[in-house]
Structure 1
Amino acid sequence: MIDLHSSDLDDLIVAEKKQVAIEYHNEAWADGISDGIEAEILAETAITTAVTELVRRYGESDVLELLDQLRQRVEFGEFRAERALQ
């Protein structure tokens, strides 16, 4: 019998939702590329849509903090395609 605490189960649910969301985004991205939309346009509109929704839900201050964290992650190379996983 598997003994999962409530927080463990919540973490698993969030992880599953994130995986499904990634799959949705990948499908939409592939459809856009297939329809002749450039990757730069897809990326910019995805970021704009996400930031708009986050500001609506959490406010500008919280979103600016998130963007600062994302900037640091970019600077540390987390999003490089050629980065080595350890």
Structure 2
Amino acid sequence: MTETSLSEIDEMIVYEKMQTALEHQTEAWAEGVADGIEPEIIADAAFVTVMRETVKLFGEDATEAMLEDLKRRMLTGEFSPERLIQ
């Protein structure tokens, strides 16, 4: 196996894990809404969890850099529901 194909396999594994993680989060969101929790509260709780875990894993400086990157991605419309993926 070549180095390129190992890299491609690694990328596929990460992609599959991301898809599975998104499915779990979508299910948790739906369960919260079904339990009568407002989406704004679910979103806030998700951000709190993400921030705590990210700071724990990477530290405050790296988390700040990630937030700056997320801000840039948000401002370019990457997370907009109306965004069309081509």
TM-score, normalized by length of structure 1?
Answer: 0.90
RMSD, aligned CA: 1.4
2:53 maps to which residue? 53
Is 1:10 the counterpart of 2:6 in the alignment?
no
Query: For the residues of structure 1 that align with 2:81 and 2:42, how far apart are their CA atoms?
Result: 18
| Residue of structure 2 in register with 1:27 after alignment | 27
Write the deviation string for residues 45-79 of structure 1: whole angstroms up to 9, x where unpaired: 11110111010011000000000010111111111
Paired residues in the alignment total 84
For structure 2, which runs of at least 5 residues remain unmatched after alignment? none
The runs of at least 4 aligned residues of structure 1 exceeding 4 Å deviation read: none
Indicate yes or no: 2:67 matched with 1:64: no
1:5 is paired with a residue of what secondary structure?
helix
Cα separation, 1, equivalents of 2:84 and 2:8: 29
Identity, % of aligned pairs? 43
Task: State the Cα distance separating 1:22 from its structure 2 match.
Answer: 0.6
TM-score normalised to structure 2 length: 0.90
